[in-house]
A and B are shown apart, each in its own frame.
Chain A
Amino acid sequence: MRLDNVTKTYGKGDNAVTALRGISLEVPRGTFTAVMGPSGSGKSTFLHCVAGLDRPTTGHVHLGDTELSGLKEAALTAIRRERIGYVFQAYNLMSALTVKQNVTLVARLADMAVDEAWLREVLARVGMSEHVGRRPNQLSGGQQQRVAIARALVTRPDALLADEPTGALDTRTSQEVLGLFRQIVDEMGQTVLMVTHDPVAASYADAVLFLADGQLAGQLNRPTPAQVAERMTHLGNW
């Protein structure tokens, strides 16, 4: 995953708001990367551009060999389906569908066959094998998030993107979910890119990228929560 000098501006003229100012970086395959920054630092926009949910104003986004910025909406949808798994902060699931139906939803939309063995394995890994027939409103917040991760994994994506996945969870459940991310990176070689503002969450990652005012503001490798928190306090004055 590679970004070349990506900028993103919303609006025009006097009302223009620049969310990203020339970001270039590379996320190596099989790593767990966290992106941190204060509110308004552009981290959500950054993730949207990487996921093909939004187009950069200038610059290029590459997913493997594919250049995303030039693609049409239909092609982007296909990329999102097949090569990217996305986990939101909340409202990840369709309330009308069961756990299993939710996990296989993408395959259904893409009209692909579901690899049953792989599905069982993914569900087992996220610890939801027991609950395949339940509906989202019968699950706890942590369980819902695990179902969302299973759904993101089941298509064997090139990258799993997560936007504040623990934002709506308590500490204990957050730990379970973050542990799960760590586990799928270590054991399955999955690439995970996570946006968060929680130093503890970021400390689970291999590397933490700091964003401030739409620009990269440093990187920490193998950080501890304290290092991350320390860095964040200084970002305000950066």
Chain B
Amino acid sequence: MFDIAWSTIKNRKGGFIAAFIAVICGSAVITACGVLFMSGVLSGVAPERYAGATVMVGGQQSKEVKENFDPHFAERATVPASLADKVARVDGVKKVVGDHTVEMALQKDDGSARGAPVELDHPLYGHGWSSTALGPFELAEGNRPGSAGETVLDAGLARKAGLKVGDTARLSVGTTAHAYRIVGLVDAPNGLDRQSAAFFTDSRAAELSQRPDRLTAIGVLGEDGADGLADKVKEAVAGSGGVVYTGDDVGDLEFLDIGESRGFLIPLSASFGGTALAVVIFVVSSTLGLVIHQRRRELAMLRAIAATPRQVHRLIGSEVLLVGVTGAVLGAAPGFLVAGLLRDAFAGVGVLPEDFELSFNPLPAVAAVLLTVLGARLAGFIAAFRIAKIQPVEALSESQVEKDELGKGRKATGVGLILLGLVAAIVLPLVIPGELAVAGAGGALVVLMVGSALIGPILVRAATRLMTPLLKRSRVSGFLASANSAANARRLSSAVVPLALGAAMALMQLSMLNTVETTAKEQAATGVVSDYVLTSDTTGLSTDLAEKVRAVDGVETATPVARSQAMLTYIEIDKPNTKPFSAQGLDPRGLDRTLDLDVREGSLDQLRGDTVALSWIAADTARLKVGDTADMNLGDGVSKKLKVVAVYGNGLGFGDVTLPHDMLTAHTANQQDAALLVSTAGGGAQQRVGAELDKLAAATPGLTVQNPEEFGAVQQGQFAQQSWTNLIANALLMLYVLIAVVNTLVMATTGRSREFAMLRLIGTSKRQTRRMMFMESWIVVVTAIVVGVAIAIPPAVGSALGLTGQPIPHVQPLAWGGVVLFVALLGWLSISLPTRSALRGRPIDAVYAGE
């Protein structure tokens, strides 16, 4: 069977090249997803400060979720300081070091109280001197810090900042700065590539961390020849919440962003890979469908003389297998490049660390080849199904002209799917709001797409009928175009479907992005009702700043806003699910003067102790009402049962979870505020307070005074990042659909060269033929755009309902116009260019060429 298949492929290069290109691109996309997935699983960064430790003990940094990816905690999970003593008693341990890590900023003395900030490429962390044993760091110059006012810098940092032993360095935690005398410089054994370090006396480091009772990590140095130390330590820390790290994993403990990248990459690449595979099957089967359509006569003849349906399947299957395997193998190599591009794009947006390295190994390529070939085989089966099933006589007669009517089953399925899609898109968000509804609305797009693909020919015919009066104005070309389209609705529909799919995906994505961004912006703009907003351009605001500001004359309310992330665990349908939400910590005192969260139920006054307020999206997602108990994990993973005291509307602008301020900050690494909202007593107080705040800012490192409007813009950044991530992932799919569109249209047009030749021989001019095709391309483009817009709207409305509670998606006319224009241009070019090329030769040659 393979030799027949091979001859067929060689003989019908044009048709198969389209499927071939589709498979190559599909394989590349799936390989790229595989590489990202593997990188999420495998890649890591070598430890720097902990490089010399035998074993490290740190906190549990992710939540274990059954049958799903374990979500990572946003903040560092710390361990109790008392655990260090327990570890020290383990047999074979030479030394135990408790490490306090404090994020800091460096200013140089410029005579002002604020100091001149030193821009560093990497974060700067302060530690206790004893932790140098874990590097081990070598003292390059000077001495160890002997008192609270002394520090030792890593040599690289000192060089960068232009500081030397004997100088004074101003190091700040949040907005609190201290001057330290530099008494020495240290070198790390392998250098510090991802961080800078400053060392203090152990007691000073503990003090700076504000949590002397908690440790970032515990380092263990083993005695020479001590075997199985890791297991023994594991035994010792069992039940305490401590996790033992050895070897390459130590890098994950030292650099939380690596673990976070994994938590980001693994679910993203898995879901994206799955979608890509579905699109590959869809595109390849529609491309193959066209090839098979073009040779149905031949296949009908085969059935009539001798072939069983199974043999027709086998023949087409063999062709697909040849095309599939070759294409999949060829596509795998560029897939690694695509993965690299995606990495760069994600790093550019900031969701991956700049130095995140992909781990390249052949496994993703092997998996992609297998999946793509399987997908193509399935696509071939779908495409061959009809031609193989029908009776040979039917095949013979049917092959002459297109069968007019679609099968009843097909029509019913198509209409059924469209109805189902509408229900999923619009009714679902009304019945079960929350995140599930938004996801459902997205999925509805695919259902709607498949449904319209099934009844595509009917849609094309309807569109043709509507456009015929317009077309008839041109007596020759228009007449031919409308007759062709009406008679070959099926062929036209296979060109319309991918074009509509591309348009719908793009429009739906744009609308969701836009709705989220616009709503968040609106909420942030209307929600901040204070007169001033204080923020920091370093790590954050120290929590004591609020008291300082409250003491300023004329200040009525100062509301500190801390930010972090919190996880909500709830029963979704029938099994527990855990989802991270952005969280803010608020002090409810005088809140109505500074922040309007649009409280719908309950009251934020109650927000103290073990309580929480939720946005309505979060509340609906977890099915919680005021008075219920929420099962939450705070930023560092600590589990809490919190009573819901309020449900509010402005979740997109401010975060979906609002916790009492002190509870939230206690479970963040920096224990700082993101902003301080300041309202004044009114009257002349506003100017006076403004001047006072400016004075404060001049004396405080990193502090900036903003208007509430400017603060809104800051909020934007976080949403933009998430939206960009989606856009990058989907852009790749869009590109793939695009290739499929061009493929299909070019192939459909090229397949008609004999018809063009015949038209020319009976006296149609080249110009008339071109005009005819131009009009046909309009039928294709207009139908595709109408269908695309029509099926993009219900999911857009549904997701708007789910996200904002309003059924009106935000539409950027310019962006939608751009998409429509692009689709039109693409469809038109893919038809008109091959038409030109098909018309180039002598018509008489084309008529006698081949079948």
Contact A92-B301, Cβ < 8 Å, known A48-B393, A109-B307, A137-B851 = yes
Does A95 sit at the interface, judged by CB under 8 A? yes
Q: Known A91-B298, A91-B851, A137-B849; judge A97-B4 contact (CB<8 A).
A: yes
Q: Is A58 an interface residue (CB 8 A)?
A: no
Q: Flag whether A96 is at the interface (Cβ < 8 A).
A: yes
Query: CA separation between A110 and B306, bound complex, in Å?
Result: 8
Q: Which of A53, A80, A96, A108 has most chain B Cβ within 10 Å?
A: A96
Q: How distant is B43 from chain A, measured CB to nearest CB, in Å?
A: 47
Contacts of B240 in A (CB 8 A): none
On whether the beta carbons of B4 and A108 are closer than 8 Å, the reply is: yes
In chain A, residues 79-98, which have Cβ atoms closer than 8 Å to a Cβ of chain B? 80-81, 86, 88, 91-92, 94-98
- In the assembly, what is the distance between CA of A94 and CA of B302, in Å? 8
Knowing A53-B393, A95-B850 touch, does A88 contact B4 (C-beta < 8 A)? no
Chain B window 817-851, contacts with chain A (Cβ cutoff 8 Å), 1 for yes, 0 for no? 00000000000000000000000000000000111
B398 to chain A, nearest CB (A): 13
Beyond A54-B393, A109-B311, whether A96 also contacts B306 by CB under 8 A is: no
Q: With A97-B4, A101-B4 known to touch, is A77 a contact of B12 (CB < 8 Å)?
A: no
Task: Give the complex CA separation of A90 and B7 in angstroms.
Answer: 21
Q: In the assembled complex, which residues on chain B have CB atoms less than 8 Å from the CB atom of A108?
A: 4
Q: Is the CB of A86 within 8 A of B4?
A: no
Closest to B299 in A: A94
Q: Known contacts A74-B308, A96-B4; is A137 also within 8 Å of B298 by CB?
A: no
Q: Which of B1-52 contact A (CB under 8 A)?
A: 4, 7-12
Instruction: Indicate if B367 sits at the interface (CB-CB under 8 A).
Output: no
Interface residues of B in 380-406 (CB under 8 A from A): 391-393, 396
Q: Are B7 and A106 in contact (CB under 8 A)?
A: no
Residue of A48, A53, A92, A110 ringed by the most chain B CB atoms within 10 A: A53
B7 neighbours in A (Cβ, 8 Å): 96-98, 101
Contact: A80 with B306, CB < 8 Å? yes
| A114 interface contact, C-beta 8 A | no
Beta-carbon contact of B392 and A53 below 8 Å: yes
Residues of A within 8 A of B396 (CB): 53, 88
B304 contacts across to A, CB distance below 8 A: 53, 80, 86, 88
Q: Is the CB of A96 within 8 A of B11?
A: yes
Question: CB distance A91 to B297 under 8 Å?
Answer: yes
In the bound complex, what is the Cα–Cα distance between A97 and B298 (angstroms)?
11
Output the nearest chain B residue to A86 by Cβ-Cβ distance.
Answer: B305
Which chain B residue lies CB-closest to A151? B305
> Quick check: B306 and A81 within 8 Å, CB to CB?
yes
Q: Closest chain B residue to A137 by CB distance?
A: B850
Cβ of A77: which chain B residues have Cβ within 8 Å of it? 306-308
Please tell me if the beta carbons of A95 and B393 are within 8 angstroms of each other in the complex: no
Smallest Cβ distance from A187 to chain B, in angstroms? Answer: 24
Chain A hits for B309, CB < 8 A: 73
A106-B306 contact given A96-B11, A97-B7, CB 8 Å threshold: yes
Q: Please, how many angstroms separate the alpha-carbon atoms of A106 and B10 in the complex?
A: 21
Measured CA separation A59–B307 after assembly (Å)? 26
- Cα–Cα, bound, A53→B393 (Å): 6
Say yes or no: is A105 at the interface (Cβ < 8 Å to chain B). Answer: yes
Tell me, rounded to whole Å, the shortest Cβ–Cβ distance linking B750 to chain A.
16
Query: Are A80 and B305 in touch, CB under 8 angstroms?
Result: yes
Q: Tell me the nearest residue of chain B to A80, going by C-beta.
A: B306
Q: Is the CB of A96 within 8 A of B302?
A: no
Number of A-B contacts (CB under 8 A): 69
The answer on a CB contact under 8 Å between A105 and B306 is yes
Residues 53-86 of A, flagged 1 when their CB comes within 8 A of B and 0 if not, give 1100000000000000000011001001100001
CB distance from A8 to the nearest CB of B (A): 11
Q: Closest Cβ of chain B: how far from A95's Cβ, in Å?
A: 5
Range of interface residues on chain B?
20 to 34
Instruction: Provide the B303-344 mask, 1 if CB < 8 A to any CB of A, else 0.
Output: 011111101000000000000000000000000000000000
Known: A54-B391, A101-B7. A95 touches B306 (CB 8 A): no
Q: Contact at A109–B306, with CB atoms within 8 Å?
A: yes
Cα of A94 to Cα of B5 in the assembled complex, Å: 11
Asked if B305 and A95 sit within 8 Å, CB to CB, the answer is no
Q: How long is the Cα–Cα vector from A77 to B851 in the complex, in angstroms? A: 25
Cα separation A53 to B9 with both chains bound (whole Å): 28
Which chain A residue lies CB-closest to B7? A96
When the two chains form their complex, are residues B305 and A106 in contact, meaning their CB atoms are under 8 A apart?
Answer: yes
Contact with A along B285-307 (1 / 0, CB 8 A): 00000000000011001101111
Q: Cα distance A101–B9 when bound, in Å?
A: 15
Bound together, the chains give a CA A136 to CA B396 distance in angstroms of 19
Chain A residues in 8 Å Cβ range of B850: 95, 137
- Residues of chain A within 8 A (CB-CB) of B393 are 48, 53-54
Chain B residues whose C-beta falls within 8 Å of the C-beta of A110 in the assembled complex:
306
How many Å lie between the Cα of A22 and that of B9 in the bound state? 46
Residue of A nearest to B4 (CB): A97
Query: What's the Cα separation between A54 and B7 when bound, in Å?
Result: 31
| B297 contacts across to A, CB distance below 8 A | 91
Tell me how far the C-beta of B753 lies from the nearest C-beta in chain A, rounded to whole angstroms.
14
Contacts of A94 in B (CB 8 A): 4, 8, 298, 301-302
Q: Closest A-chain residue to B297, C-beta based?
A: A91
Considering the chains assembled together, what is the distance between the CA atoms of A137 and B849 in angstroms? 7
Min CB gap A144→B, angstroms: 10
- 0/1 per residue, A109-129, Cβ < 8 Å to B? 110000000000000000000
Q: What chain B residues lie within 8 Å of A105 (beta carbons)?
A: 4, 302, 305-306
Tell me how far the C-beta of B678 lies from the nearest C-beta in chain A, rounded to whole angstroms. 80
Name the residue on B nearest A95 (C-beta): B851
A46→B391 CA distance, assembly (Å): 16
Bound-state Cα–Cα, A108 to B396, Å: 22
Which of A54, A95, A98, A135 contacts B298 (CB under 8 A)?
A: A95
Residues in B with CB closer than 8 Å to A137 are: 849-851
Question: For residue A110, which residue of chain B has the nearest CB?
Answer: B306
Nearest chain A residue, comparing its CB with the CB of B302: A94
Chain A residue at smallest Cβ distance from B851: A95
- On chain A, the residues within 8 Å of B301 by CB distance are 88, 91-92, 94
Q: Which residues of B contact A73 (CB under 8 A)?
A: 308-309, 391
**Closest chain B residue to A152, Cβ basis:** B305
Chain A residue at smallest Cβ distance from B303: A77
- In the complex, the chain B residue whose C-beta lies closest to that of A77 is B308
* Closest A residue, CB atoms, query B309: A73
- Name the A residues within 8 Å of B10 (CB-CB): 96
With A and B bound together, what is the CA distance between A136 and B308 in angstroms?
A: 24
Chain A residue contacts of B392, Cβ below 8 A: 53
**Proximity string of chain B (738-782) to chain A, C-beta cutoff 8 Å, 1 when within and 0 when not:** 000000000000000000000000000000000000000000000
**Chain B residues whose CB sits within 8 angstroms of the CB of A151 once the complex forms:** 305
In the complex, chain B residues whose CB is within 8 Å of the CB of A97: 4, 7
> How many angstroms between the C-alpha atoms of A219 and B304 in the bound complex?
29
Per the bound structure, the CA–CA distance linking A94 and B393 in Å amounts to 18
Residues of chain A within 8 A (CB-CB) of B851 are 91, 95, 136-137
Instruction: Using CB atoms, name the residue of chain B closest to A101.
Output: B7
Complex CA–CA separation, A106 to B305 (angstroms): 7
A98 to B11, CA, bound (A): 11
* Separation of A107 and B392 alpha carbons in the complex (Å): 19
CA distance A74 to B302 in the complex (A): 14
User: Contact: B12 with A96, CB < 8 Å?
Assistant: yes
Can you list the 5 inter-chain pairs with the closest CB atoms, starting with the nearest? Answer: A96-B11, A96-B8, A81-B306, A96-B7, A106-B306
A-B contact pairs, 14 of them (CB 8 A): A73-B308, A73-B391, A80-B305, A88-B304, A91-B298, A91-B851, A94-B298, A95-B298, A96-B4, A96-B9, A97-B4, A101-B4, A106-B306, A109-B311
Told that A95-B851, A96-B10, A97-B7 touch, could you supply 18 new A-B pairs with CB distance under 8 A?
Answer: A53-B392, A54-B391, A73-B391, A74-B308, A81-B305, A88-B301, A91-B297, A91-B851, A94-B4, A94-B301, A96-B8, A96-B12, A101-B7, A105-B302, A106-B306, A109-B302, A109-B307, A151-B305
Chain A residues proximal to chain B, CB less than 8 Å: 48, 53-54, 73-74, 77, 80-81, 86, 88, 91-92, 94-98, 101, 105-106, 108-110, 135-137, 151
Contact residues of B with A, CB < 8 Å? 4, 7-12, 297-298, 301-302, 304-309, 311, 391-393, 396, 849-851
